[in-house]
């Protein structure tokens, strides 16, 4: 199991763990979908998502992406289903009638940041880690809603620069540009405090606010098709393979021009 769940009062805390590197996987996504099913029926009134081992969700497993990209026949047969499925999962966080707060205490990039960007409120811990969408440095592009959600949060200009360059930023910079709402010495405790405050409010009002703010899904189909086209590139496969052949402790440097 990749997710562990506890409850304190009206707040559910779900912690993601996939040691040693904290990569997201198809299995972890399926588990999260099942958890959302449970949360929809629960009388809990707020959710906190967090990570373990000093990470949030580092990014989606590049090993799984390579396996997808190298099986050309399956890729053409599946088409955009990989992106479509991830889009559908993350949109469930937006349609969940309870507030979702992300407590980000470590690396949060690629698919991990895409998940965090669908949370209603993001709290980052002060520390030496990175947030961003570095996919272009792997020869690909964001395929799990990143091109759309980052524009929603930062505006077209800043989002375009970050995605085109694969820029990843410190928690302090993420807070300064509005990628996260709060910066804290203890992201989890601050997220629980915020979630408890939200849980004290009228749940029908919260649910309807979220429904009114839900981003349109029409733009995501463009991203899904563009991601599929990128995955057809031999250069993408070669670049991702260089990444997974890099020692785990050096992989952030592979993505990060700050190191």
Question: What's the rounded mean pLDDT across residues 127-133?
Answer: 97
- Rounded to two decimals, what is the model's pTM? 0.94
List the domains of the chain with CATH numbers. 3-255 (3.90.226.10)
Measure the CA–CA gap between 243 and 149, rounded to whole angstroms: 25
Q: What pLDDT does residue 73 have?
A: 84
Q: What pLDDT does residue 217 have?
A: 66
70-80: pLDDT as tens digits: 888 887 888 88
Question: Would you say residue 66 has pLDDT above 90?
Answer: yes
List the beta bridge partners of residue 106: none
Measure the CA–CA gap between 101 and 184, rounded to whole angstroms: 14
State the catalytic residues.
114, 135
What is the number of other CB atoms lying within 10 angstroms of the CB of residue 128? 12
Question: What's the rounded mean pLDDT across residues 136-154?
Answer: 95
Q: Spell out the alpha helix ranges (H) of 42-128.
A: 62-70, 72-78, 81-95, 111-117
170-221: pLDDT as tens digits: 999 999 999 999 999 999 999 999 999 999 999 999 999 998 988 766 778 8
6-64: pLDDT as tens digits: 999 999 999 999 999 999 999 999 999 999 999 999 999 999 999 998 999 999 999 99
Q: What pLDDT does residue 216 have?
A: 64
DSSP string, 155-196: -HHHHHHHHHHT-EE-HHHHHHHTSSSEEESSHHHHHHHHHH
DSSP 8-state class, residue 227: H
Q: What pLDDT does residue 258 have?
A: 64
The percent of residues above 90 in pLDDT, for the chain, comes to 85
Question: Would you say residue 151 has pLDDT above 90?
Answer: yes
Query: Would you state the structure tokens that stand for residue 230, as one six-digit string?
Result: 């990128």
State the chain's mean pLDDT as an integer. 94
Please write down the HEC assignment for all residues of 71-95.
CHHHHHHHCCHHHHHHHHHHHHHHH
Question: Would you say residue 142 has pLDDT above 60?
Answer: yes
């Amino acid at each position: 199991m990749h997710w562990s769940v506890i409850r304190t009062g009206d707040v559910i805390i779900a912690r993601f763990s996939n040691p040693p590197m904290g990569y997201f996987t198809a299995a972890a996504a399926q588990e999260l979908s099942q958890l959302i099913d449970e949360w929809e029926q629960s009388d809990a009134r707020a959710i906190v998502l967090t990570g373990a081992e000093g990470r949030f969700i580092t990014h989606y497993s590049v090993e799984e992406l390579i396996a997808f990209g190298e099986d050309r026949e399956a890729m053409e047969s599946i088409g955009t289903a990989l992106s479509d499925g991830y889009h559908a999962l993350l949109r469930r966080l937006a349609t969940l009638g309870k507030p979702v707060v992300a407590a980000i205490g470590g690396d949060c990039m690629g698919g991990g940041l895409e998940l965090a960007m669908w949370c209603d409120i993001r709290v980052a811990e002060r520390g030496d880690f990175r947030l961003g969408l570095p996919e272009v440095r792997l020869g690909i592009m964001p395929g799990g809603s990143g091109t759309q959600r980052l524009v929603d949060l930062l505006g077209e200009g800043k989002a375009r620069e970050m995605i085109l360059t694969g820029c990843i930023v410190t928690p302090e910079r993420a807070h300064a540009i509005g990628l996260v709402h709060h910066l804290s010495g203890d992201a989890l405790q601050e997220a629980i405090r915020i979630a408890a405050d939200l849980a004290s409010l009228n749940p029908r009002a919260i649910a309807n606010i979220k429904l009114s703010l839900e981003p349109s899904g029409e733009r995501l189909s463009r991203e899904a098709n563009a991601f599929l086209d990128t995955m057809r590139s031999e250069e993408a496969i070669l670049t991702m393979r260089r990444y997974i052949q890099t020692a785990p402790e050096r992989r952030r440097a592979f993505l990060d021009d700050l190191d």
